[in-house]
Structures are given as structure tokens and as C-alpha cells.
Amino acid sequence: MSLQLNWPDYLVERDENKCIQCEVCAKQCANEVHKLDPDTGKMVSDDMKCVDCHRCVTMCPTRALKIRVNDLEFKPNANWTSSAIKEIYKQAASGAVLQSGMGNPKPYPVYWDKMLINASQVTNPSIDPLREPMETSVFLGRKPAKLEFNPDGSLKTKMPPQIKLSVPIMFSAMSFGSISGNAHESLARAATKLGTLYNTGEGGLAQEFYKYGPNTVVQVASGRFGVHPGYLNAGAMIEIKIGQGAKPGFGGHLPGQKVDEAVSRARMIPVGSDALSPFPHHDIYSIEDLRQLIFSLKEATNYEKPVCVKIAAVHNAAAIASGIARAGADVIAIDGFRGGTGSAPTRTRDHVGIPIELALASIDQRLREESIRNEVSLVVAGSIRSSADVIKAIALGADAVYIASAALIALGCHMCQTCYTGKCNWGIATQREDLVKRLNPDVGAERLVNMITGWKHEIDEMLGGMGINAIESLRGNRLMLRGIGLNQKELDILGIMHAGE
């Protein structure tokens, strides 16, 4: 038996004067931190089990609870940090790979925060979005090289399938299984109400979700869970998932305990069995194989749906994206290394891949150099946190963005980063019935709609400030950005000038 050398990461502080022993905290905590001590009649807590999700703090009727980061520290050491030491203790005890939930938390540069947006002054009037039209609609899909018209003015060119989004923001892939049915339902309803898309992830599609089809991206991942002709034809767009920003080069693993009756039906696997997605697609070992899958999916859907290929942002993403465009993809989605996940190996999450801002800038530039940028749509993901990030992504060259972590936060996620335990107290990353019902999809959908509506207002205002009344005029308009505190190499890759230039 190994020694347990770790101590609690968080401390639960209870104000005994306020606590009324109502046991709400004990009932709310799936991690079983709190319990009533029958001998003393007082509430006690096991700090070791606390994940800092704030459920108890939020629900406590007398505000008696507070969670603090444990300030017990090792002797200061810039190299052997406390997390480096504690992770070794964990592995020495278990012999296992370290697991993490949600996106990369390390202090790598966040380039969104090192770019500033322009506004009009004097030489060019800003536009008041309350008085003038302000347009945020975008189309995703393959574009012909040019348009031709008949003599009567009607369109002669046959347009490939296009999806019109009312805002350039979609909900990114999160499978039913990794998140709850109610979380899924909240996303689907919000996407429908907003005129955008949500994404099934690789979890298949439960029958009751088919009605949201026109606002659904159906994903085909390496495990091919739940993929059949009805599924492919149910959605507005098909996405081939090659990689994910949080774990590039990695597959997926949904533990058997999350595979209940409903998840089993949607994924077409037995109840209780682990759902393992292989690292690569075993029918895609090269770019020409990808082309075959793209066209198989197009054949299966009568060339009526755009096909998107999603990759993680890796070192040579620009060349890969160019290959994907030439392989016939209509939309390319790039997921940066800060993208979220239900579960990823900690080392992969924290050390593999590159920031989405740099990947986006180099991919957009590369596709332009090859004169094919206009033919495909570019969607970026991997930690878009606000409308300002959306604006910056579009100015760097994206057509639209995917958000997932932000959407979950709108649903109540407190970023405790332990999704993989299946004990999400907020009813999001869990299949436990008592936890799932904590998230009401009516409320969830409304909160998502509110967030995107707020972002859209902010986008309108920033566009108007720049003297732009249609978001397509911002796309790739890098003169609208300036870097702050960046070196020349970073500026060159981003294709922007420094503030003051």
C-alpha cells in the first residue's frame, strides 16, 4: 500500500454561527464532502474530496460556507512547483496517466489579450447600431470560384450547399454522454432559437433530438459511434473529427459507468461498455483517405450537406488545412490548445498543440497564398471567451467561431476541471439522474440565448465603432487589429502591426 502524501487542494470553511445543520450542502455534493456528525450534531467536511465547484457555497441558505485554496505550500522553488511535486505523488501512488478536465490552465500567452481593436475617428464615421442596420450573418460552405448570371439576372451558377448563421458563433462538439441530456437539450434549443448550430460530438443523436436537425452538426469521429444514414441526414452539416485542441493526436474514452440506457441507444453500444475512440480514424491514414471519407459522406447525403473537417491546431496546421481544403472539405474547423474537454491526459492537454490565434493567422494566410481561402469556410475554437475574442478571430480571418466552455459556463459550470469524474454537481458533465435534473433545459436554453444575444449586441457596437456594418467586411481585415507587447515574430505570424504603428 502506497503512502498517501497529498493533502487537500481546497479547504472548506464553515461559519459555525451561521450553519443551521440543514444538510443542504451534504445533499448537493456528489463528491460527499459534507456530512452531519451524529455525535456532535454539527456539519463536518472532508476537504480532501472537495473539487472547488462552489455548488455548496451557492446553495447554502445561510451563506455559511466558503472554499479557500489551501495556502499550505512547499518551500518556494521556481522549478519544483507545488503542482509538479503533487503530480509525482499521485503517479507514485497510482502508476497511472494523470487525467484532467476542461482546457489548458497553464499561463501560456493568450494572444486574444495581446491584440487591440480599432475604431473610427473623424476621417471615417462610426456607425450607431441603434440607428443603422448592423449585419452579423455569415454563410458556411464551399464557394464557387466565381458567379455567373443569366441574361434575366437570375443565378446561373449552381451553388454548393450553404448554411446561413445569424451570428458567427456556434456551439462546439460535446457528446451526449460526456454532457447530460439536459445540457444537450439546452444547447439544441438555444441554437434553434438563435439561428445557429450546435454539435452532437461523437455521441450519436438520441431520437428525441432529431427535431433540432436543421440546427445540428452531426459529428463523425474515429469511434463512429451512432453513425448511420439517418443520423448523417438528420443534421445541417457533417463534421469529421480528426482531432481536438485539448488532446491533439489522441482518441477518446467514455467510461462504461456513463453509458446508461439512453447513451447506449444514441451511441449504438451496449449499456455499461466503455466507448473507446481510437487515436486515428482507422480508414484515414493519409490525406487521400480523408478525401474518400468526405465524399462517402457526401454520397450518403446526396451532396446536400456541407462537410466540415475538424483538426487540432498543431505545428504544421497551415499545410494540413490546405490539404483538407483540396481534399474537398467545405468547412475547416481548427481547435486551439486551450480548447476544453471532458477528459484528457494532463500532459497532452497542457503541452501538445499551439494557440488558436497563431494557427488561425497562419492558416488564413496560407490559404490566401494558395488562392483557395475564398473556397472554404474557416471556423475556429479553442477558447473563445467573449465577444471581443470573436471580433479578433474574425479580423484575423475566421468565418465563424465555435464555443463550448463558454456555453457550459453559461449553464452553470464553475470550471472545477473534474468533468471526468461524472459527478458534476451542476448537472452538466454527468449522467447521474439526480444530478442531471439540477439543470433545467428551459432555463439552460434561456441563459445560452441571453449570453449570445449579449455578445451580438457587443459585436454590433464594436463593428459600428469600426465603421463597418456587415461582419464580412471584418473577416481577414487585419488592419483593424494592433498587437500589444508582442515581438516582431509574433506580429509577423499574426499579420498585424504593433499598437502605435
Partner 1 sequence: MLKEGQVRIPSGCAISGILSRKGECFSGETIIKSIELMHDRSNGLGGGFAGYGIYPQYSELYALHIFYNDLTAKASAEDFINRHFDVENAGKIPTRRVKGIDDSPLIWRYFVSPRQFKLQESELDEKEYVARCVFRINGEIEGAYVFSSGKNMGAFKGVGYPEDIGRFYMLETYDAYLWTSHGRFPTNTPGWWGGAHPFTLLDWSIVHNGEISSYDANRRFVEMYGYKCTLMTDTEVITYLFDLLIRKHGMTLKEAVDVVVAPFWSEIELMDEKDKKRFDAIRAVYASALINGPFSIILGFSGGMMALNDRSKLRSLVAAEKGDNLYVASEEAAIRIVCPTPYSVWPPSGGEPVIGLVEGKK
Q: Which of residues 110-169 bind partner 1 (CB under 8 A)?
A: 120, 123-125, 127, 132-133, 135, 137-139, 141, 143-144, 146-149, 152-155, 157, 159, 162, 164
For partner 1, give the closer residue by CB, 133 or 270. Answer: 133
Smallest gap from Cβ 322 to partner 1, in A, equals 13
Among 305, 373, 438, 456, binds partner 1 (CB under 8 A): 373
Smallest gap from Cβ 310 to partner 1, in A, equals 21
Q: Is 220 a binder of partner 1 (CB under 8 A)?
A: no
For partner 1, give the closer residue by CB, 251 or 467. Answer: 467
Q: Which amino acid is at 73?
A: E
What does R_g of the chain's alpha carbons equal in angstroms?
A: 24
Q: Which of residues 336-355 bind partner 1 (CB under 8 A)?
A: none
Q: H or E element: which one contains 491? A: helix 488-494
As a whole number of angstroms, the distance between CA 188 and CA 209 comes to 8
Smallest gap from Cβ 391 to partner 1, in A, equals 13
> How many CB atoms lie under 10 A from the CB of residue 107?
6
Q: Which of 56, 60, 72 is nearest to 10 (CA)?
A: 72
Q: Is 488 a binder of partner 1 (CB under 8 A)?
A: no
For partner 1, give the closer residue by CB, 416 or 466. Answer: 466
175 burial (CB, 10 Å; 0-12 / 13-18 / 19+) is: buried
Vertex 316 angle, CA 365 and 299, to 5°: 85
C-alpha cell at 461: 457596437
Smallest gap from Cβ 102 to partner 1, in A, equals 34
Smallest gap from Cβ 249 to partner 1, in A, equals 32
Question: Do 334 and 317 touch, CB atoms closer than 8 A?
Answer: yes
* E strands present in 154-288: 163-165, 169-171, 198-199, 216-220, 237-241, 252-254, 275-277
Question: Do 459 and 468 touch, CB atoms closer than 8 A?
Answer: no
Stretch that binds partner 1, among 68-76, 202-210, 253-261, 475-483 (CB under 8 A): 475-483
Q: Is 303 a binder of partner 1 (CB under 8 A)?
A: no
Q: Is 492 a binder of partner 1 (CB under 8 A)?
A: no
As a whole number of angstroms, the distance between CA 165 and CA 404 comes to 17
Q: Which residues bind partner 1 (CB under 8 A)?
A: 120, 123-125, 127, 132-133, 135, 137-139, 141, 143-144, 146-149, 152-155, 157, 159, 162, 164, 368, 371, 373-374, 466-470, 472-480
